[in-house]
Structure 1
Amino acid sequence: MGGEWFVQSFQEDYSTLYRHRDEQSARQEVESLLRLLPLPKTGRVLDFCCGDGRHSRALAQHGYEVVGFDLSAYLLSEARCKTKKENVTYYQYDMREVPFNEEFDVLFNLFTSFGYFADDAENEKVIKRMAQALKPEGKLVIDYLNPEYVRAHLVPESVRDVDGKHIIERRTIEDGFVVKQIIITEQEEERTFWERVRLYSADEMETMLDRAGIKLLDVYGDYTLAPYGPEMKRMILFGQKK
């Protein structure tokens, strides 16, 4: 694979691969979380790894003061172009090095924006940065994959065509990670990149959160806050800074 896969992957092709993750789906997800979880109705919110800012904009539309950050200059450029009147400020940071200190009432980390590093200590460092950014008693929401569901329902290969791009996606589980190889052919030119996410259990996530000073309040299986279990696609963790 070589290097840090996410530096290469979160570029222009990312917008093609995840086109279905659009403004409407972000609004629906945010509205569901705000309606069903005991979150403050006002305050300062951090969109932790904001991508092109679709959740940041949805949160701002509910009246929050929103800060979003991401590593990808391309996705941040898209975020700034798409953000019109919403009250959002964007920054470029590595998730392991965000500088915020007790500034936010709520932190959202959505669409599996965690578990990217080969070293568990680096992933745990990210959790500590989340805790550091929150005010005391601040709330945290992490939308992560369900490792049990991934193992049971892994699709080894899929093929599709989008906007003149022929896309092959090959998936494996290797050493506790789900690994996706993505091959895109466009105008007879082929390019390959990867995604690699650590498969942490709910217990492992709770342990890391606890060590960082965040109490896990509940775990859900989707955005309707259905109970978490092996057949649920997501692991949505809801916590509070101690």
Structure 2
Amino acid sequence: MTEWYEDSFGEDYLLVYKHRDVQGAYEEVHKMINWLKLEPQARVLDLCCGMGRHSLALADAGFRVTGIDLSDVLLREARQMDTENRVEWIHADMRNLPLQGGFDAVVNLFTSFGYFREDGEQLKVLQGIRHMLKPGGSYIIDFMNTAYVTRHLVPHSKRETEGHRIEEFRQIKDGFVQKEIHITDSGSSQKPRIHEERVKLYTREQLSDMLQEAGLVVDQVHGGYDEEQYDEQDSPRMIFVGHRSVE
């Protein structure tokens, strides 16, 4: 059976999420650099790099960057934007990273976590992050804030873009936030193309425990890139910043 993340990050993903801007990535990277306290020329792994917005912003900031993603389509877009070949792009599953490690930092951004049904699979990702980091190396895991998402979930939305109608249906079910995306070409009588997204919900305490089990220390949690402090009810995001334990 094909898992949702093997299907959903294709050509239609580019259409649905085309509004994500490059300038925002540069602003977020500036904040990340301060949080991670990175030295010039530090090695950074962008785990689940997607179209490479943050990887390229990190490279522009003077770091040696590797971007990993499972989607050939998104990696194709990343390579096309990387006209000077500044980033090493690698196709891989985040649970099984084909690298030796030794990175100064690993970043996992915009809820590129919680994709799997079992907690044990999520733990493999965190253990992989630890393995990629050199002792004392730092990480960022940028996850959604469960309480905020639960309160502000929009069950249904629709829009038109570039001759396509996009409808999104959202629900929280069995501990996951689920989205079903229907895409129809304008004027077409064909059935819509349907894609699913499903992310497991974790509280701050649950994710903190998983990080500790994986050998990752939590230094601080932010509520967004413009929020220094995390508030369980009001913060839109839950951004963990920490480091690999030395032992």
TM-score, normalised by the number of residues in structure 2: 0.94
Contact 2:10 2:71 in 1 (8 A): yes
Following the alignment from structure 2 to structure 1, what is the Cα–Cα distance between the partners of residues 69 and 36? 25
Identify the residue that residue 222 of structure 2 maps to in structure 1. 220
For residues 2-41 of structure 1, what are the structure 2 equivalents within 5 Å? 3-41=2-40
Q: Is the 8 A contact 2:43 2:64 kept in 1?
A: yes
User: CA contact under 8 A between 1:169 and 1:181: conserved in structure 2?
Assistant: yes
Task: Return the alpha-carbon distance in structure 2 between the equivalents of residues 109 and 36 of structure 1.
Answer: 14
Aligned to 2:101: 102
Report if aligned partners of 1:11, 1:75 keep a CA contact under 8 Å in 2.
Answer: yes
CA distance in structure 2 between the partners assigned to 1:225 and 1:113 by the alignment:
20
Identical residues among aligned pairs (%): 45
- Structure 2 equivalent of residue 79 of structure 1: 78
**Equivalent residue number for residue 199 of structure 1:** 201
Cα pair 2:35 2:241 within 8 Å, conserved: no
Where 2:210 maps in the other structure, the secondary structure is helix
2:237 alignment partner, one of 234, 238, 242: 234
> Equivalents in 1 of 2:94, 2:37: separation in Å?
26
The alpha-carbon deviation at position 37 of structure 1 amounts to 4.5
Aligned residue runs from structure 1 range 67-216, under 5 A: 67-85=66-84, 87-187=86-186, 188=188, 189=190, 190-216=192-218
The AA in structure 2 aligned to 1:52 is M
Residue type at the aligned position of 2:130 = A
User: How many positions carry a matched residue from both structures?
Assistant: 241
How far apart, in 2, do the equivalents of 1:75 and 1:15 lie?
8
Q: What is the letter of the counterpart of residue 228 of structure 1?
A: Y
The runs of 5 or more residues in structure 1 that have no matched partner are none
Does the 8 A contact of 2:36 with 2:138 survive in 1?
Answer: no
Look up the equivalent residue of 1:181 and give its one-letter code.
Answer: E
Distance in structure 2 (CA, Å) of the matches to 1:86 and 1:26: 19
Cα distance change of structure 1 residues 37 and 102 upon mapping to structure 2, 3 Å threshold:
closer
Q: Pairwise CA RMSD of aligned residues?
A: 1.3
After TM superposition, the structure 1 stretch with the greater mean CA deviation from structure 2, 21-30 or 159-168, is 21-30
Which blocks of at least 5 consecutive residues in structure 2 are unaligned?
A: none
SS of the equivalent of 2:83 reads coil
Q: Match of 2:218, as an amino acid?
A: L
User: In 2 relative to 1, CA 36–120 (structure 1 residues): closer, same or farther, beyond 3 Å?
Assistant: closer
Native 8 Å contact 1:36 1:225 kept in 2: no
Q: Under a length normalisation based on structure 1, what TM-score does the superposition of the two structures give?
A: 0.96
**Residue identity opposite 2:95 in structure 1:** R
Deviations 1:5-57 (A, max 9, x none): 01110011111211221211111111122235533343100000000111100
1:42 and 1:224 mapped to 2: Cα distance?
Answer: 25
- 1:231–1:86 CA distance, 2 compared to 1 (3 A): farther
